């Protein structure tokens, strides 16, 4: 289980049977979007609105079915555990 103060957005590779992309958050909430790009834009927008000391990881499933994490500037998070432990940048 994740720290409740940590915010996650998870974006799957494939659309569901209705042609919608689902995005889940750490709270388990689901949102649906007409495109993967629309879902990613939503996650980035929401991540930027969150308090700067709260870690945010946007997880995206790649074509190789591996999940990769990014920060609120869509920069890769290579070590998610360390990233989440230190929080987001304070600048």
Looking at residue 79, what is its pLDDT?
A: 74
Per-residue pLDDT of the chain (91 residues; tens, 9 = 90+): 444 446 778 999 999 999 999 988 767 778 999 999 999 998 888 888 876 777 788 889 999 999 898 888 888 887 777 766 665 444 4
- Per-residue tokens: 54: 């709260």
The pLDDT assigned to 3 comes to 47
Q: Are 56 and 67 in contact (CB under 8 A)?
A: no
Q: What is the pLDDT of residue 8?
A: 79
Q: What is the pLDDT of residue 19?
A: 95
CA atoms of 18 and 86, how far apart (whole Å): 39
CA dist., res. 5 & res. 53, Å (int): 10
């Amino acid at each position: 289980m994740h720290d409740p103060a940590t915010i996650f957005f998870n974006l799957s590779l494939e659309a569901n049977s209705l042609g919608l992309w689902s995005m889940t958050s750490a709270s388990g909430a689901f949102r649906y979007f007409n495109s993967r790009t629309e879902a990613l834009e939503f996650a980035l927008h929401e991540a930027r609105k969150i308090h700067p000391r709260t870690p945010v990881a946007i997880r995206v499933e790649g074509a190789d079915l591996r999940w990769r994490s990014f920060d609120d500037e869509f920069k890769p998070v290579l070590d998610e555990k360390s990233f989440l432990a230190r929080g987001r940048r304070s600048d």
